[in-house]
Chain A
Amino acid sequence: MNDAVLSFSDIRQDFPAPGSDAGIRVIDGINLDVGIGRFVAVIGPSGCGKSTLLQMAAGLLMPTRGTVHHRGRAVNAVNREVGFVPQQAQLFPWKTLAQNVELPLLLRGVATAERRERVAAALDAVGLSGFERYFPSQLSGGMQKRGSIARTLVYRPDVILMDEPFGALDAQTRMVMQNDLQMLSHNAGATVLFVTHDITEAVLLADNVAIMSQRPSKLLANIEIDLPRPRNVFEPFKNPGFEDAYDAVWTVFRSQIGIRNQPH
């Protein structure tokens, strides 16, 4: 894949461990390409370093070995061409919703009139028009998450990195958000690298599902999900071919989580 926007090559990551010089090896040789306009989900057991990959792509963490390339350039400083949607919404509590969404544009020196326009458009896209002057503490968890996504979409980053963004939401809110994200990323033609531990979520949203092993983690498989879009996230099993796709992922993934043998 040479049209990769983001490519991880031969990534290894050791973290210092208390009482040992060698440290803990979390990632042990991962190669992964994220093609242009693709939605790639990364799943793996907890503690396998999924989020670490995102940190590396954002240039916030340098791999112990190997390189991350973004459009051919090695990432060795903070990568401002990406957008990061963290687990918690992480809106600035001292800024109103509109000021939050405006900040990336302000930091990038976008002119006032254009800023206002793009903030309005981004808030409209996530369904938060009318809440411009609310502070984050006045918004529900789902609304904060929407605000966080709007704050990323507003500056049209080349790649959007999402770190279990819906993990902390209740089940219904999550489905609605998944549906919205599917629509938004499709309309924007965005390239997304999406970390999750939820197989259903991965299969429903992604074009590719990359499966990581337990620590020290390697890439077990990179499975293409060829379901037609738009997909029905509310009734996953009603998507033609969903069962097979889920099965393909699950077959690889099940070896990585400790399930006691039980007769079917």
Chain B
Amino acid sequence: MNDLATTADRPLASRKSSAWRSLASKAASGLLTLLPGVALLAFWQWASGRWIKEIYVSKPTAVAARLYELFASGEIFPHLWTTGQELVLGYVIGVAGGIIGGYALGRSPRLAKIFEPYVMAFYGIPKIALAPLFIIWFGIGIGSKIALAAIMVFFLVFYNVYTGVRSVDRELANLTLVMGANQRQLTYHVYFPAAAPYVLLGMRMAVPYSVIGVIVGEFTSSIQGLGLFIHEASSTYDPAGVFAGIVILLAFVAVANFLAGRLERRLLRWKTLTATAPNDI
């Protein structure tokens, strides 16, 4: 029943060896995870030039060389800077708007009754179709890309927050009022923490969407940015350049996902607990 006690009672030596064992098993499972990726890269390297012309698919070593060259020469930095700005600003604006909108509509049934049909209708529009329009409205600079990323992120976060706030147990909220909470305290102690898992889920899901928004915007029309770089590489038959651009985007999403995961674990510690108290009443 009580794992804590049994671990503490075991002699030190056996605990040490079990720590080693768990480290070894962790390393083994890590290697196992890496295996498919390595196999895919090896196959790509091998098949390129044999099965498929290299001009179509490039090959991992060429992509790596290209990446090195791009960073060594500094050619990529202006693109990175532009796209980075667009991503961060678009994401932040979209998340903020989604949280505010979702929270307001979630708490007020009256507002929800008026605005929900509109939000749902706009939700149905393929946001990518708005790209040309945003270029007209906000120009070919970073404004139009920020708008596109923000609107894609907004709907995702909005919907999650709205659902999260509405899922708060009515009885728990009432109980908190009886305990003496005013509306502000109710928000802070009940609605925020109860909606937090939904907010974080929305934020995490929104990361790739912000990338889509920005890249599509840059494809459509732009002066600078990774999207433009990829677009130009593909129109000059430079698959290594295309893949290099994609790898950079991949790295961005991976980092953002890692950060979101860290935030989630930190804020939602109460959801992921495994230890239990001794079960005597």
Contacts A/B (CB < 8 Å), 7 sampled:
A59-B178, A78-B177, A79-B178, A90-B172, A104-B180, A138-B276, A146-B281
Closest chain-B Cβ to A30's Cβ sits at a distance in Å of 21
Query: How many B residues have CB within 8 A of the partner chain?
Result: 26
Q: Is A32 located at the chain interface by the 8 A CB criterion?
A: no
Q: Is B76 located at the chain interface by the 8 A CB criterion?
A: no
Report how far A154 CA is from B230 CA in the complex, Å: 64
Binding site for A on B (CB under 8 A): 169, 171-172, 174-181, 185, 189-190, 193-194, 196, 270-271, 273, 275-277, 279-281
Closest chain-B Cβ to A11's Cβ sits at a distance in Å of 19
B-contact 0/1 string along A83-108, CB 8 Å cutoff: 11010101011110000000110011
Closest chain-B Cβ to A58's Cβ sits at a distance in Å of 5
Determine if A139 and B277 form an interchain contact, defined as CB atoms under 8 angstroms apart.
yes
Q: Which of A98-132 contact B (CB under 8 A)?
A: 103-104, 107-108, 127, 131
A155-B178 CB under 8 A given contacts A86-B171, A135-B273, A139-B277 = no
Q: Which of A63-97 contact B (CB under 8 A)?
A: 78-80, 82-84, 86, 88, 90, 92-95
> Which 3 residue pairs are nearest across A and B when measured between Cβ atoms?
A107-B180, A104-B179, A94-B193
Q: Is A26 located at the chain interface by the 8 A CB criterion?
A: no
Determine if B181 and A138 form an interchain contact, defined as CB atoms under 8 angstroms apart.
no
Q: Which range holds the interface residue count of chain A?
A: 35 or more
Determine if B180 and A155 form an interchain contact, defined as CB atoms under 8 angstroms apart.
yes
Determine if B275 and A138 form an interchain contact, defined as CB atoms under 8 angstroms apart.
yes
Determine if B190 and A137 form an interchain contact, defined as CB atoms under 8 angstroms apart.
no
Report how far A127 CA is from B281 CA in the complex, Å: 10
Q: Which of A93, A103, A176 contacts B270 (CB 8 A)?
A: A93
Q: Is A41 located at the chain interface by the 8 A CB criterion?
A: no
Closest chain-A Cβ to B196's Cβ sits at a distance in Å of 8
Contacts of B178 in A (CB 8 A): 58-60, 78-80, 82-84
Contacts of A88 in B (CB 8 A): 171
Determine if A135 and B270 form an interchain contact, defined as CB atoms under 8 angstroms apart.
yes
Q: Is A205 located at the chain interface by the 8 A CB criterion?
A: no
Contacts of A176 in B (CB 8 A): 281
Closest chain-B Cβ to A137's Cβ sits at a distance in Å of 6
Q: Is A143 located at the chain interface by the 8 A CB criterion?
A: yes
Closest chain-B Cβ to A70's Cβ sits at a distance in Å of 12
Determine if B179 and A103 form an interchain contact, defined as CB atoms under 8 angstroms apart.
yes
Determine if A173 and B190 form an interchain contact, defined as CB atoms under 8 angstroms apart.
no
Q: Is A134 located at the chain interface by the 8 A CB criterion?
A: yes
Report how far A83 CA is from B179 CA in the complex, Å: 7
Report how far A207 CA is from B244 CA in the complex, Å: 80
Determine if B175 and A84 form an interchain contact, defined as CB atoms under 8 angstroms apart.
yes
Report how far A93 CA is from B195 CA in the complex, Å: 12
